[in-house]
Structure 1
């Protein structure tokens, strides 16, 4: 997901709408919206340039304070030129932004990276082109790869369907999907980011997790020897949850990235969502070359604080091998204490914890 995909989406939009350039777009309401087709096209252009501005300007806490206004008398052909131009601006902003750059977007974690802005731009274009095309009685279906990418980058909470475009339409309240209830409210989700002292915990999206489990980099710049096998295994488990429709991105897998050089040194994350008792288990691993620097302690401490700040988490657990003294030291430095004999017995009997593991506990 990047500048090429933004340009591809915009080109498809313009090609379809150009067929109705002689129609009165202001007199036709876009399907499913309160806006006219003219207003919807302006909205698309406004979002594209706003995303470009926020990313290029590294906006924090609010959008860059400006709004797109067309010159009086701009016709439909001129409006499509504006859509093309704002799409080109977003594509350029995405291509030139550093990998770790983030800027303001309100939902749900108050920021997005360059991939997130590209995906949001593509989503706006695909969905609103659909709305306008339906109202203008034009045939429109974007490339399946674009719809699939939008789902994998922005809808990690949505179980993949038999085909990406109908699934994206269903997920945004624009269609039906056999076997699934209608969607009446929806939001896309950018990935969460948790800041520690010397590493940033960057949420791994399903698209990146799929690449990692298959032997790729997930789009991260790893130090030599990375990613380590624990991160790949965690991404494999995460993909199973995504494919089953039970993945929650706030309880997923995170890459540990050093802001100083943008390089990934390890992974950390949750083994699943909190259980009915408010218990959640975390795990981590580091590339061998990054060990012994305190990164693991910082990551575990930050991830634990993130979890315990939530209302649905009361206890954070770490299960560590008996002979893994370095990890036991990490747990202690991060504020965990050894579980009681009874707690360990319960973990083995009721939660299938391996007998060769020791349980460490951190309560809110």
Structure 2
């Protein structure tokens, strides 16, 4: 039996592609709702997002869905333990358990799940005034700070990070991003050195009273793979070969954030842009034989509230090109691409079951069956 662990962007792509080819597959996920991580900043500010249910998507397919949390993996016995209650056996495993915010601080909110985001929304809604500190000046931090500032104008929003927001963008894109944050009243600060009840310490030795702290400063993966004896990198991600198989256990494919996938330009970083192709590739390799995986980035869309955005088009190595979209056009572009995963999964289910279909340039190209 083929077993897929995790139903994020990568894991669900693998399960759907296998189901489309009438391959018996079991998908395990902690909840039956698909979490659009790209939209968790909306949930965190009390905005409604689509309620997407995994069993509905997989209905009338060969796939089985098991709700539960993976608690142990035994690659020698080819078994997975779910909720410490029952055991599932596999012949081939797709490991797609993703990542979570790299903090265990009880004083910080996170965007690990829709439940976590909703908890922050309740806190923000209950504040008439006060200060919210968003830790981490990466894309999630920027989008979250902008959404909070726009949705709750009475609150003071501080975005704190070791680097300037938009540091990796083309100067024109970075200028627009910084101007948007300034227009929304978001204040920029340097790195954070400590969190305390109601207070944040900064690297410059100063402190700031805070009514809520949102942590977006990096991610980490679960120790499950390392504990099971799979080869992992220094961050606990499964090290893969060129076909996305574990270098230590070739009957295990690793995809998405939980995998250390090397390309000619370096290691891939976690986004749905890269995650979905890894899931599709793993499924097609299982069906038609392992093939080398090649991936190049295309764009970096960034929301700046509901009425502004910037889209940075990139080279395959994720370095910025000169092409940039801003304002309303960028908003429409980003809404279109972030809405794409669920329709894309449905289109995968309609692909012909015979032959080998490989993703190429955003489309599926038929290759000779192996």
The structure with the larger Rg is 1
**Normalising by structure 1, what TM-score?**
0.24
**Normalising by structure 2, what TM-score?**
0.24
